[in-house]
């Protein structure tokens, strides 16, 4: 009997590999580049080339922050300045005001970051499909409108002279005079945040709608069988299913605290709100393109990128320790 058991353990059907033995012979597809792998690499090659050209190759321009660069001069004959321009950039008295504006508006965007998730939940709860499609289309469309057209629309609506909003306010007797919304620095942070939410709410909700469709319907049905109503199903099934997606986007948002964008603030910039609307991206443009101080502009942009990477790393490690979730 012992001998029979040994035979059973050692014998195996023909063609079946032994445990821990590779089923692919040496020198075949498992150990060399096949035609399919070269095809996949060829499909990815254009994206890799574009990434190299537009994301990594421009980093050579960071060298301008360490040289006394002026347009028209031979770069290889420039004088090395070390950290001179980095120190000058952050010793400027304006930088604190710029950082305040940047962090406040980024903080407001993070504060309202759950809105797309809440909107997606409400959208998927609408029973009539045509109403759902209408709302989703009308809320997603503004994302594809350029900031130039958004500013034109805002100017038509809120212009102090003949804006539609001011005409309506005065006609209804809600105010004795027109309101200068585009030139009121007391509300500029909230006004710009509101415009950003209006423009990106529908598009940002798409990823949450996709995440909701990925939730196991059996969990929802089981909660319904247990007596959970619509709101309890959302609270105990749908919302926990969306939290991983939300945390990933939140971590990316923290990494972009210093990146507010340029177009929106460039177009809505005017002398009345300049003190509170100027952010780092606009400041980099003003110092570099407008004033021609390329070393300082490059130093600020370079530092902003490095700080963003640091913030993303800290946020990722904090999420791993506190919430047992991480991005990388």
Convert the pLDDT of each residue in 14-37 to its tens digit.
554 444 444 445 444 445 678 888
Structural domain includes residue 223: yes
The pLDDT value recorded for residue 162 is 85
Cβ proximity of 192 and 264 under 8 Å: yes
The pLDDT value recorded for residue 187 is 94
Contacts of 239 (CB under 8 A, 6+ apart): 121
Residue with tokens 């690499």: 41
Task: Give the total number of structural domains in the chain.
Answer: 1
Cβ proximity of 106 and 260 under 8 Å: yes
Mean pLDDT computed over 42-63 = 92
- Rounded to whole angstroms, the Cα distance separating 276 from 96 reads 12
Contacts of 298 (CB under 8 A, 6+ apart): 61, 62, 64, 65, 85, 288
- Rounded to whole angstroms, the Cα distance separating 39 from 43 reads 6
- Rounded to whole angstroms, the Cα distance separating 143 from 285 reads 24
- Rounded to whole angstroms, the Cα distance separating 131 from 123 reads 9
The pLDDT value recorded for residue 230 is 87
Please give the structure tokens belonging to residue 315: 């946020």
- Angle in degrees, CA 112, 114, 119, rounded to 5: 105
Mean pLDDT check: name the lowest of 13-17, 63-67, 133-137, 264-268.
13-17
Structural domain includes residue 8: no
Query: Does residue 225 register a pLDDT over 80?
Result: yes
Structural domain includes residue 7: no
Structural domain includes residue 34: no
Structural domain includes residue 18: no
Structural domain includes residue 306: yes
The pLDDT mean for the chain works out to 87
Cβ proximity of 71 and 297 under 8 Å: no
Structural domain includes residue 194: yes
pLDDT band at 4 (very low <50, low <70, confident <90, very high): very low
Query: Does residue 315 register a pLDDT over 90?
Result: no
The pLDDT value recorded for residue 322 is 77
Query: Does residue 132 register a pLDDT over 70?
Result: yes
User: What's the CATH code of the domain at 142?
Assistant: 1.10.3720.10
Mean pLDDT computed over 112-132 = 93
Query: Does residue 269 register a pLDDT over 70?
Result: yes
The pLDDT value recorded for residue 23 is 46
Mean pLDDT computed over 211-218 = 91
Q: How many CB atoms lie within 10 A of CB 206?
A: 14
Tell me the percentage of the chain whose pLDDT exceeds 90: 58
Mean pLDDT check: name the lowest of 5-14, 45-54, 165-174.
5-14
- Rounded to whole angstroms, the Cα distance separating 182 from 20 reads 70
- Rounded to whole angstroms, the Cα distance separating 102 from 231 reads 37
Residue with more model confidence, 237 or 2 = 237
Range of the domain at 109: 91-322
The pLDDT value recorded for residue 8 is 45
The pLDDT value recorded for residue 71 is 82
Note the pTM of the prediction, 2 decimals. Answer: 0.82
Structural domain includes residue 98: yes
């Amino acid at each position: 009997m012992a001998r029979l058991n040994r035979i059973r353990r050692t014998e195996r059907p023909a063609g079946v590999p032994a445990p821990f033995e590779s089923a692919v012979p040496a020198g075949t597809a498992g150990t060399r580049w096949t035609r399919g792998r070269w095809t996949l690499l060829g499909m990815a090659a254009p994206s890799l080339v574009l990434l190299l050209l537009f994301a990594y190759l421009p980093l050579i321009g960071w060298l301008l922050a360490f040289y006394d660069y002026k347009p028209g001069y031979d770069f290889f004959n420039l004088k090395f300045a070390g950290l001179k321009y980095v120190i000058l950039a952050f010793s400027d008295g304006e930088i604190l005001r710029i950082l305040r504006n940047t962090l406040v508006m980024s903080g407001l965007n993070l504060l309202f970051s759950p809105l797309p998730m809440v909107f997606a939940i409400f959208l998927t709860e609408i029973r009539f499909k045509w109403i759902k499609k209408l709302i989703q289309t009308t809320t997603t469309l503004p994302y594809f409108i350029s900031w130039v057209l958004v500013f034109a629309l805002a100017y038509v609506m809120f212009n102090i002279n003949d804006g539609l909003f001011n005409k309506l306010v005065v006609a209804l007797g809600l105010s004795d005079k027109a309101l200068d919304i585009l030139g009121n620095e007391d509300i500029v942070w909230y006004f710009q945040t509101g415009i950003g939410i209006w423009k990106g709410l529908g598009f940002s909700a798409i990823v949450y709608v996709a995440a909701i469709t990925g939730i196991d319907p059996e969990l929802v049905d089981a909660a319904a069988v247990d007596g959970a109503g619509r709101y309890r199903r959302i609270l105990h099934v749908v919302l926990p299913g969306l939290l991983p997606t939300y945390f990933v986007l939140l971590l990316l948002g923290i990494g972009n605290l210093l990146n507010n964008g340029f177009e929106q603030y460039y177009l809505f910039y005017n002398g009345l709100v300049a003190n509170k609307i100027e952010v780092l991206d606009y400041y980099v443009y003003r110092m570099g393109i407008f004033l021609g101080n390329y070393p300082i502009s490059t130093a600020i942009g370079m530092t902003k990128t490095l700080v963003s990477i640091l913030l993303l790393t800290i946020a990722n490690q904090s999420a791993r320790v506190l919430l047992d979730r991480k991005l990388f």
